[in-house]
Amino acid sequence: MRNRHKFTFIFCSMFTDFFTIVVSVSVFLHFAQTTDVQWSSSFVNNSHLIATAGWLLTTLYFNLYRLDTVFSLPSFYRNSWRVFLCQFLFWQGFIIFFEGLKSYQLSIGASMLQFTFLLLYLLISRFIFTYVLNNIKRWVDKPFVVAIWGFNATSIQLASKLESNSHFFNFLGIINDVEEDNLKDKSSFNHALINAIHKSSEMGIQELYIVVKTEFIDDLNTYFELADRYCIRLKFVPDLSEISKFSFSSSSYENFHIIRPRHEPLQNAYNRLAKRVFDIVFSLLVIIFVLSWLFPILAFIIKKESKGPVLFKQLRTGKKNQSFYCYKFRSMAVNTDSDSVQAKKGDMRVTSVGKFIRRTSLDELPQFFNVLLGDMSVVGPRPHMLKHTEDYNNQINDFMVRHFVKPGITGLAQISGHRGETKKVSDMKRRVKADIDYLQNWSLIKDLKICLRTVVLTLKGDENAF
């Protein structure tokens, strides 16, 4: 039941989504005919194909219809919104690129109708899908039955995961309430597990997770052979809760099981490529449309107010603990303490124009050149002076984890109120915690949100910017 109905559900979702994308383009073309736009024949003939290609690319990128993982309804909803929004933006870009901005402006009304149609479909379809998922087990005669044997911290966490994602199978929970402490040796464990497999057969269980400490695991073949006789899939899950209290991230390499201290999306080559493309495009836009005219203006004012270079460069710690020169518009009078002393509120070293460009974050704009050079990213942990990296590394255990990714012009810590001077070690710990959270939960959408919130925070005024 589990795979068959899961495949059916995902296929139906895929088909209805595809059909809706095609219909939405027809809706757009129908209402766009009422305007004065003279659409080219190539645009009309290829519109459905381009829209479908955009939908396909976004579904592949966000893994909306994955069959090889446990189905998660929250993830399905989240990725559905991302796919439809990105596909719509892709379609709007296609209109501008091939038909021009004037034609696009004349067809905005049709675009809004198309967007409304897609939005209504998304709301209604996902409501129907939720209803189906919540009732599908009641409509099936012989549901796929899953259970856990082993009562410990790891099995409780696993049970929570299976329970929240048990749309396509019947999860019975943990079928024993005996803690492993009562199993004195391998012999008692062996006897208890064999009895559990017999009991599972009587209960109609088809897949049984055995969560146990590694010290009890000896010859697994005996248990696998016994479970095979009852047509039960047996899966062993090592209980590592006594080794570490932290959550692990695990993967497989050939026949080897690899345990890592955390999940890092940017370890994936496709994610790194997507982030790099975003960095290059975003940086070029800023350099061409902002720095091209703002740079000479600020350079003139900075040189006029105080002696010294227009740009301030400083060695800072980058990815993999490699140092690089970070560029900024010079906001202070030339001094000998810049490599060791953080800027403070009311710092006498800051010039008049420096106060303005620091408060508005304009001093950070030259770092977009750092992004193009590959030393930085638009979004990431802020780079620190070499001395501060050394000092805090000796005081905060996981401080260097933030250097597993490229430093950024802005970051999650900055928009979360952890920008500016770190007067106490606890201030830096909060910043590091936010940076690690970003590292573990990166997504392109998250980068876009951080950029948007940075702009909003800059316009409103950040009290920590001085």
pLDDT per residue, tens digit, the chain (466 aa), is: 456 677 888 888 899 999 999 999 888 888 877 666 677 777 778 888 888 888 888 888 888 887 666 677 888 888 898 888 888 888 888 888 877 777 777 788 888 888 899 999 999 998 998 888 888 777 776 778 899 998 888 888 888 888 887 777 888 889 886 555 466 677 888 888 899 999 999 998 999 999 888 777 777 888 899 999 989 999 988 887 766 656 667 777 677 777 778 889 998 888 899 899 999 999 999 999 999 999 999 999 998 888 889 999 999 999 999 999 999 999 887 776 665 566 666 567 778 888 888 888 899 999 999 999 999 999 999 999 998 899 899 899 889 999 999 999 999 998 988 776 667 888 888 999 999 999 999 998 899 999 999 998 888 766 655 4
Q: How far apart are CA 289 and CA 451, in angstroms?
A: 17
Same domain, 348 and 384: yes
Q: Apex CA 438: angle with CA 436 and CA 439, to 5°?
A: 65
In a domain, 263, yes or no: no
Domain end position, chosen among 92, 122, 139: 139
Nearest to 81 by CA among 136, 37, 122: 122
**How many domains does the chain contain in total?**
3
Return d(Cα 69, Cα 66) in angstroms, integer: 7
Does residue 195 belong to any structural domain of this protein? yes
What's the CATH code of the domain at 202? Answer: 3.40.50.2300
Question: What is the spatial distance between Cα 205 and Cα 209, in angstroms, rounded to a whole number?
Answer: 11
Query: How far apart (Å, rounded) are the C-alpha atoms in residues 151 and 206?
Result: 19
Residue 304 shares a structural domain with residue 234 = no
387 and 241 together in one domain: no
Q: Which residues contact 190 (CB under 8 A, 6 or more apart)?
A: 218, 222
Give a yes or no: residue 262 inside a domain.
no
Which residues have CB under 8 Å from 121's CB, separation 6+?
Answer: 20, 24
CA distance linking residue 301 with residue 462, whole number of Å? 23
Give the contacts of 18 (CB within 8 A, at least 6 positions apart).
52, 55
Domain edge (last residue) among 139, 168, 199: 139
Name the residue with tokens 């400083």: 314
Indicate if 280 and 346 belong to the same structural domain: yes
One-letter amino acid of 440: Q
The answer to whether residue 261 sits within a structural domain is no
- Say if residue 59 is in the same domain as residue 7: yes
Residue 74 is part of which domain span?
2-139
Reported as a single tens digit per residue, the pLDDT across 127-138 is: 998 888 888 777
Residue 55 CB neighbour total at 10 angstroms: 24
State the pLDDT at residue 463. Answer: 63
| 392 in the same domain as 331 | yes
Same domain, 233 and 291: no
Nearest to 330 by CA among 290, 370, 301: 301
The CA distance from 418 to 414, in Å, is 5
Last residue of a domain, one of 85, 111, 139: 139
Give per-residue burial for 350-369: e unless 16+ CB within 10 Å, then b.
bbebbeebbbebbbbbbbbb
The two beta strands, 170-174 and 145-149, are parallel
Token pair of 17 as six digits: 């989504």
Q: Is residue 304 part of a domain?
A: yes
pLDDT at 44: 79
φ and ψ of 134, to 5 deg: -75, -15
Q: Is residue 158 part of a domain?
A: yes
Q: What is the pLDDT of residues 208-242, one digit of tens each?
A: 999 888 777 777 888 899 999 989 999 988 887 76
Instruction: Note whether 105 and 230 are same-domain residues.
Output: no
Q: Who's near 380: CB < 8 A, 6+ residues apart? A: 405, 406, 407, 408, 411, 438
Q: Are residues 21 and 156 in the same domain?
A: no
